[in-house]
Structure 1
């Protein structure tokens, strides 16, 4: 699958306005597009951050959808959005053990790597990281997204509830350290979000 992420920062007091627009107008627009496989909305209410992700069956269906979403995105995110960054990725790993739910948590790890090591990263993640994450109570889903050309990636790990997200920090740190060393990647960012909505169909 292929993924588009929209990372938005702004006034925390206006965040719910953007959530309502994305949950209503945004999802309706996405669901009309061929190749749509699901989406998610994740927020940091304290700092005023919103991460929206949409999943697509093919790279072409993702590109086609962006023509529509680019025209409507600004109006849906007003008046919250002060900065908006859009990125595109290929999903090399999608591992779901149970359906994530609203009120759960997302841990997002940002990576940089040599583009020639993309397949090594995917193999290492499947063989070394996923089995360790599977032992964590409350794990719902983990995925590895990469931009092969730019040598950048995201690891998203979703938990069913906030308590499980918090309890997993030490164990996931150990798995992250081991995986980064084996796959020759650099961790450039680590963030946590509340899950507002997610419904990705990985089949």
Structure 2
């Protein structure tokens, strides 16, 4: 699979309007496109941040959806959006044990690496991070996105509630340090969000 990740910042007081637009007009636009596999919407209401991820069965399908979404994105996110950044990734790992819930938590880790180390990073995440995450109380789903050309990626772990995510912070900090060294990656960002909507159908 492939994803398009849209990262938006703006006035926290106006974030609810953007959430409503994404969950109504945005979802309708996506569902009309071939090979659409689902979408996630995450929010940080205190700081005014949104992360919207759409999932696609092929890179071509993701690319074919770009034009209609780029045309509608600005008007749909008004008046909230102050900055909008769009990045495209390959889904290297997707592992789900239960459905995420609205009100749950997402921990997103952004990394950079030598493109030559992409496969090492993917295998480290699959063999080391996934089993540890699966053993955590409240764990729902994890995924690893990579951009092999530019050597960047994002790892996300979803929990059914914010308390479970908070309880995992210390253990995950130690594991993140060990895995980053093993996979030769540099962590360049670490964020947590509330789950607004998370519904992905890989097949």
Q: Tell me the equivalent position of 2:25.
A: 25
Residues 133 and 175, structure 1, Cα contact 8 Å, conserved in 2: no
CA distance in 2 between counterparts of 1:158 and 1:33 reads 26
Matches of 1:127 and 1:179 in 2, distance apart?
A: 10
- Does 1:9 pair with 2:9? yes
- 1:173-188 pair list within 5 angstroms: 173-188=173-188
Aligned counterparts of 2:46 and 2:159: Cα–Cα separation in 1? 19
Taking the aligned partners of 1:136 and 1:49, their CA distance within structure 2 comes to 26
Structure 1 unaligned regions, length at least 5: none
Q: TM-score scaled to structure 2, two decimals? A: 0.99
Q: Distance in 1 between matches of 2:63 and 2:54?
A: 12
Which digits, 9 at most, give the CA deviation of each residue in 1:23-45, with x for residues without a partner? 00000000000010000000000
The structural deviation recorded for 1:114 is 0.2
Q: Partner of 1:148 in structure 2?
A: 148
Question: In the comparison of the two structures, how many residue pairs are matched?
Answer: 203
Show the counterpart of 1:196.
196
Could you tell me the TM-score, scaled by structure 1's length? 0.99
Note the aligned Cα RMSD (angstroms): 0.6
1:46-65 aligned at under 5 Å gives the runs 46-65=46-65
Q: Which runs of 4+ in 1 moved over 4 A?
A: none
Report the Cα offset of residue 202 of structure 1. 2.4
Residue-by-residue CA offset, 1:147-169 (whole Å, 9 max, x unaligned): 11111000000000010010010
Q: Deviations over 1:154-188 (max 9, x none)?
A: 00000000100100101111221121111000000
Show structure 2 runs of 5+ residues with no match.
Answer: none
Mapped to 1, the partners of 2:19 and 2:109 lie a distance apart of 23
Q: Name the CA distance, whole Å, in 2 between partners of 1:74 and 1:139.
A: 34
Q: Is the 8 A contact 1:90 1:145 kept in 2?
A: yes
Asked if the contact 2:57/2:202 (under 8 Å) is kept, the reply is no
Who is 2:80 aligned against?
A: 80
